[in-house]
Amino acid sequence: MTGKSEPAPPGRTQAPPAAGRAPRTPRLGRPPQVDREAIVRAAVTVGFGRLGMSTVAQRLGTKHSTLYRYFATRDDLVAATVDAVVAAADWPEPTGSWRQDLAAHAWATYRLLERHPGLAGHIVSLRGNSEAYGKVNGRVVSRLVDAGFRAESAILAHDVVHEQVLMFFLAGQGGEDDGEATTPQRAAELRREQLPDALEEIDPRLREALAGIVRGEPERWFARKLDVLLDGLAPLAPGAG
């Protein structure tokens, strides 16, 4: 023995791999870490417009059946994802003025829905319970009561404003062949595209005003609607004649 590898005997070669069997390669990396928090983070990344068990599982690199170990239904996953984005949002502190507080909450909700296209539709159709969303809105109603509103008037004031914010985001949904207009900006773009035909069908006295509204920024129109709502709620406020 010399310690060197001996050459193969003449006429003999090393056997090739078995037919049809690819050489094994080592598996690199770790399997994806999947738990409740990771699933919710993936759902937020996927976005509410595409939120589903399959899309979230694909994002995580796992089977969608794995998600059912943590969430019994898709609705449970949606509710948990709503909780996550609501908890991460910047909600205003009370100022002592019912009008300022209600307006600030409306705009905070507007920004939340703006950051998460498709969220408004999930809130309206939510079959699970979003604890965080319920608490945020419940605090607003309680502050109105603290300001002197009767309980029923406080609930009414919140509901009117809250529903207006949601409807502002829902108004354009279903307007596209390949998806929904889940933001006011996209809905406004669709209305601008349809404006020439719409102007031909309406009262000539309304055309200039309608064109100005449609071509303007959605936020400005929302602000005007909100002011009208708050003016209308003033008779419910404490001390109103």
Q: What is the pLDDT of residues 58-113, one digit of tens each?
A: 999 999 899 999 999 999 999 999 999 999 999 999 998 999 999 999 999 999 99
* Confidence at residue 199, expressed as pLDDT on a 0 to 100 scale: 80
What is the token pair recorded at 10? 């003449």
Rounded to the nearest integer, the mean pLDDT of the chain is 83
CA distance 133 to 151: 20
35-52: b or e for each residue (b if 16 or more CB lie within 10 Å)? eeebbbbbbbebebbebe
Q: What is the pLDDT of residues 107-156, one digit of tens each?
A: 999 999 999 999 998 998 887 678 999 999 999 999 999 999 999 999 99
> Are the beta carbons of 49 and 117 closer than 8 angstroms?
yes
SS3 call for 30:
coil
Q: What is the pLDDT of residues 150-187, one digit of tens each?
A: 999 999 999 999 999 998 888 754 433 444 555 666 66
Q: Which helix (H) or strand (E) holds 15?
A: none
> Are the beta carbons of 69 and 55 closer than 8 angstroms?
no
CA distance 147 to 102: 11
CA distance 241 to 235: 7
> Are the beta carbons of 147 and 120 closer than 8 angstroms?
no
